[in-house]
Amino acid sequence: MVNSIITKNLNVYYGDQQAIHNISLDFLKNKVTALIGPSGCGKSTFLRCLNRMNDVIDICRVEGNISLNGMDIYSKEIEVEHLREKIGMVFQKPNPFPKSIYDNVAYGPRIHGFTDKKEEMDLIVETSLKKAGLFEEVKDRLDDMGTSLSGGQQQRLCIARAIAIKPEVILMDEPCSALDPIATSIIEELITDLKKSYTIIIVTHSMQQAARVSDKTAFFHLGNLIEEGDTSKIFTKPDHQKTNDYITGRFG
């Protein structure tokens, strides 16, 4: 088992308030890790540290160490744009650009200068959409606005957009919370497919979803990592009382 991302003694502060307390957590390559926990427990903050999305928040301060394949991602040598090329992200609310479906997917490869040939770009767009399981539905209308798709399709478009820049890791911040059950199940299948090629870290509020899609689960509470381990173990016989209370729905 190879670790993809390793975090060590991570502390995150918003101004004076500490949002994450000394978390050390490793993520296995080509596995799905679910981060669960009640609202405000810091799991989204934690996730956004992994591709340095918190950089844009002025008052946010990150201490500790995060490394991707052994490289410290907060070191000066790492350009944040390169980092985000390696660690893609899918957000809670589908947020396609108000551009065509094609341009949505092609945007990432274009700015990173993957290719300037039309045919190669077409291929990238096609394979990305295929991997996201959207190609069959949209192949005849690639010029339509990305925003004209349904919610579930939009979220798959966002996944295709993230895949198109060939990341190693995909971060998903409650990707199904705005979707209906059918769209959710499609995305869950997709996640299971995608883990063959990518390391996936998913924040979710749905216990069932965590149980269905993830290999590893980490339980967060009030900015602390309470427990982590194999999903089967966390959901059947957790070590911690709090974890047990949460997964059985007694709080949260």
Given a contact cutoff of 8 angstroms between Cβ atoms, the answer to whether 28 and 218 are in contact is no
Among the listed ranges 39-47, 81-89, 184-192, 206-214, the one in contact with another protein (CB under 8 A) is 81-89
Q: According to CB under 8 A, which one of 84, 131, 212, 242 is a site residue for another protein?
A: 84
Is 199 a binding residue for another protein by CB under 8 A? The answer is no
Given a contact cutoff of 8 angstroms between Cβ atoms, the answer to whether 213 and 203 are in contact is no
Residue carrying structure tokens 């995060």: 66
First and final C-alpha spacing in the chain: 32
How many C-beta atoms surround the C-beta of residue 235 within 10 A? 20
Given a contact cutoff of 8 angstroms between Cβ atoms, the answer to whether 163 and 156 are in contact is no
In the complex, least distance from residue 31 CB atom to another protein, rounded to whole angstroms: 21
Q: In what order do the strands lie in the sheet with 17-28?
A: 17-28, 3-14, 60-68, 71-72
- Compute CA 43 distance to the chain's CA centroid, rounded to the nearest angstrom: 11
Binding mask 207-226 for another protein (x = CB under 8 A): --------------------
Identity of the residue numbered 88: G
Nearer to another protein, 171 or 247 (CB): 171
Among the listed ranges 39-47, 96-104, 131-139, 175-183, the one in contact with another protein (CB under 8 A) is 96-104
Nearest-angstrom CA–CA distance, 118 and 252: 50
Q: Which are the contacts of 178, defined by CB distance < 8 A and separation ≥ 6? A: 92, 93, 94, 151, 155
How is residue 94 annotated by DSSP?
-
Among the listed ranges 5-13, 36-44, 143-151, 242-250, the one in contact with another protein (CB under 8 A) is 143-151
Q: According to CB under 8 A, which one of 4, 45, 51, 243 is a site residue for another protein?
A: 51
Is 147 a binding residue for another protein by CB under 8 A? The answer is yes
Is 53 a binding residue for another protein by CB under 8 A? The answer is yes
Among the listed ranges 20-28, 95-103, 114-122, 216-224, the one in contact with another protein (CB under 8 A) is 95-103
Is 152 a binding residue for another protein by CB under 8 A? The answer is no
Q: Which residues bind another protein (CB under 8 A)?
A: 51, 53, 56, 58, 81-85, 88-89, 91, 93, 95-98, 107-108, 111-112, 145, 147-148, 158, 161-162, 165
